[in-house]
Amino acid sequence: MLELTEGQYNLVYNSFSFVIAAMGAATVFFLLIRNRVAPRHRLAVTLTTLVTGIALYHYVRIFGSWESAFSFGDGVYTQDGQPFNEGYRYVDWLLTVPLLLAELVIVLKLAAGTTRSLLIRLSVASIAMIVLGYPGEIADPDSASRWVWWIAGMIPFLYILYVLFGELGRSLDRQGQTVKRLVDYLRYVLVVTWSVYPLAYLAPQFIDDAATAEVLRQVGYSVADVLAKPLFGLLVVVIALSKSRDEGYITAIDGSHAAEDTTLAEANANA
Amino acid sequence: MLELTEGQYNLVYNSFSFVIAAMGAATVFFLLIRNRVAPRHRLAVTLTTLVTGIALYHYVRIFGSWESAFSFGDGVYTQDGQPFNEGYRYVDWLLTVPLLLAELVIVLKLAAGTTRSLLIRLSVASIAMIVLGYPGEIADPDSASRWVWWIAGMIPFLYILYVLFGELGRSLDRQGQTVKRLVDYLRYVLVVTWSVYPLAYLAPQFIDDAATAEVLRQVGYSVADVLAKPLFGLLVVVIALSKSRDEGYITAIDGSHAAEDTTLAEANANA
């Protein structure tokens, strides 16, 4: 039975609470900034709002599951309650990972055929990655099956990176300089933050002390989720704003944007 | 007394949580996309928002009922708490099934007489289907009455399919090609997902192991609800967007839409 010191327990507990606050704040921010973006780019902002909203829900559940899994006595937290439900993370990823890849593809406004093909392949690959990861996640820490499922999940993971850096790279020629730079930065953020997940997954493999491994895994996933969702979404919003500016929806001088109650044609005529 | 392994219990538990997240995200998405659709098609989007909102409420209740029905001990979950309330599903369907059939009829903008006749007959048939199904659902798994009510409920079910594929098919001639293709796809989604319900209903009839039957039934209903509500609603929204585009409310070039407070005619005149 897992025993955590007060410090270890609280580190995880406060990480979860931090993620709840970050996801909640990001959701409200994305809702509020949405109308600042040109209508044709709002779908991407809507999707990132859903991503952080869904994650907010799951972290509230994860927090509750963590609380009811442990009891405090003799200065230590003992995991003797309901089993901690690792499933919430996987259900969350099943919904949010395809959505966050979709928001990146959609904000780029590529040709319709390219968009459809990218959306389908990235969704299938990300669902495969998550479904293949789960059996290993709930397997015994010492079992070889943890490694087997880790390798199985890494195949679609590498395919996603190949699509984002290979294929998507070639589609970026039509984008403006600022957008190209932002997408480069965004892909860099993605590859760094996504690398935290497979590392956190393997914590029980490399760290003999079960308590330390569990703390590292939970804190690792939490930090990665904040970077991969609110920060990633913020960059998508910056791309959408930059495009809205380039397209004349937001004017450079006063930062105002075409009024809600005039058509774009009128706004351009007035400008 | 029903005993579930940790894996079986969690599969149902995480399915319910998945549906909560999916319904919540769908509700927010439909609320946000509503203004993108021409005012004359917004009622259909409003109805699908109600459908996923009502389902969100019921799944929160179902989740809570599932939690309080079981207790954990000796590594297994035993159903020794409050009886699990199957009624939530039926109350949910009583409200949502007529609404989701109505959103399909309304988005097509058929002749007023046809619309009224379809709405009345589809509502009556769907309510009959659900009311007739319930007595069998709560009957003893081994009793013949489960079969009797199943057959009784299948009659209005088949009538609904007859109306959607026969009568509604003949009304589609006035629709554009894209809309026709979308409606075909939507009816296909409907018939496939709706078939899951009568199959999940019969799980206790065909599977001797009570625990497996219960897990299959709950997961089956959950998956079917996600396909029949958020996915079905998404297709209705796509039809509404496609019509808004065809009618000139969303212009193809800039993706902007006519102003909220001007009529479509004015917006076109100004453009």
Q: In this structure, are residues A229 and A100 in contact, taking their beta carbons and an 8 Å threshold?
A: yes
Distance from CA of A162 to the nearest CA of B (A): 29
Distance from CA of A57 to the nearest CA of B (A): 7
Distance from CA of A64 to the nearest CA of B (A): 13
Q: What distances in angstroms separate CA B255 from CA A46, A209, A264, B219, B258, one per listed residue?
A: 16, 56, 10, 40, 10
Q: Domain limits at B18?
A: 3-270
pLDDT given at position B259: 42
DSSP A65: H
pLDDT given at position B175: 85
pLDDT given at position A256: 57
Tell me the pLDDT band of A271, cut-offs 50, 70 and 90: very low
Kindly state whether A148 is in contact with chain B, defined as any CB-CB distance less than 8 angstroms.
no
Q: In this structure, are residues A191 and A182 in contact, taking their beta carbons and an 8 Å threshold?
A: no
CATH classification of the domain holding A206: 1.20.1070.10
Kindly state whether A265 is in contact with chain B, defined as any CB-CB distance less than 8 angstroms.
yes
Hey, are the CB atoms on B254 and A266 less than 8 Å from each other? no
Nearest to B24 among A57, A82, A260 (CB): A57
Tell me how far apart the alpha carbons of residues A164 and A101 are, in angstroms, rounded to a whole number.
9
Sheet containing strand A3-5, edge to edge, reads A3-5, A76-78, A71-73
Out of A162-171, A187-196, B66-75, B253-262, which region has the weakest mean confidence (pLDDT)?
Answer: B253-262
List, for residues B128-145, the tens digit of each pLDDT value: 999 999 999 888 877 889
Rounded to the nearest 5°, which phi and psi values hold at A200? -60, -35
pLDDT given at position A90: 95
pLDDT given at position B123: 97
Kindly state whether A38 is in contact with chain B, defined as any CB-CB distance less than 8 angstroms.
yes
Kindly state whether A179 is in contact with chain B, defined as any CB-CB distance less than 8 angstroms.
no
More confident residue, A104 or A250: A104
pLDDT given at position A257: 54
Nearest residue of A to residue B21, measured between CA atoms: A54
Tally of domains in chain B? 1
pLDDT given at position B200: 92
Tell me the pLDDT band of A82, cut-offs 50, 70 and 90: confident
Q: Average of pLDDT values for A37-45?
A: 94
* B window 67-96, beta carbon within 8 A of A: 72
More confident residue, A143 or B151: B151
Q: What distances in angstroms separate CA A110 from CA A118, A120, B138, one per listed residue?
A: 10, 14, 52
Nearest to A261 among B18, B256, B259 (CB): B259
Distance from CA of B228 to the nearest CA of A (A): 17
Q: Average of pLDDT values for A18-38?
A: 97
pLDDT given at position B252: 55
pLDDT given at position A48: 97
pTM tops 0.80, yes or no: yes
Nearest residue of A to residue B32, measured between CA atoms: A46
Tell me how far apart the alpha carbons of residues A183 and A181 are, in angstroms, rounded to a whole number.
6
B222-254 as b/e: b if 16+ CB within 10 A: bbbbbbbbbbbbbbbbbbbbbbbbbebbbbeeb
In the block, residue with structure tokens 């990132």: A48
Hey, are the CB atoms on B28 and A49 less than 8 Å from each other? yes
Kindly state whether B265 is in contact with chain A, defined as any CB-CB distance less than 8 angstroms.
no
Tell me how far apart the alpha carbons of residues B72 and B81 are, in angstroms, rounded to a whole number.
11
pLDDT given at position A121: 97
ipTM confidence: 0.88
Nearest to B260 among A49, A58, A261 (CB): A261
Distance from CA of B258 to the nearest CA of A (A): 6
Q: Average of pLDDT values for A176-180?
A: 88
pLDDT given at position B143: 82
Tell me the pLDDT band of A255, cut-offs 50, 70 and 90: low
Q: Does residue A248 have a pLDDT over 50?
A: yes
Distance from CA of B66 to the nearest CA of A (A): 14
Contacts of A190 (CB under 8 A, 6+ apart): A164, A228, A232
Hey, are the CB atoms on A264 and B258 less than 8 Å from each other? no
Nearest to A88 among B17, B24, B270 (CB): B17
Kindly state whether A49 is in contact with chain B, defined as any CB-CB distance less than 8 angstroms.
yes
Hey, are the CB atoms on A53 and B270 less than 8 Å from each other? no
Intervals of chain B under pLDDT 50: 253, 257-271
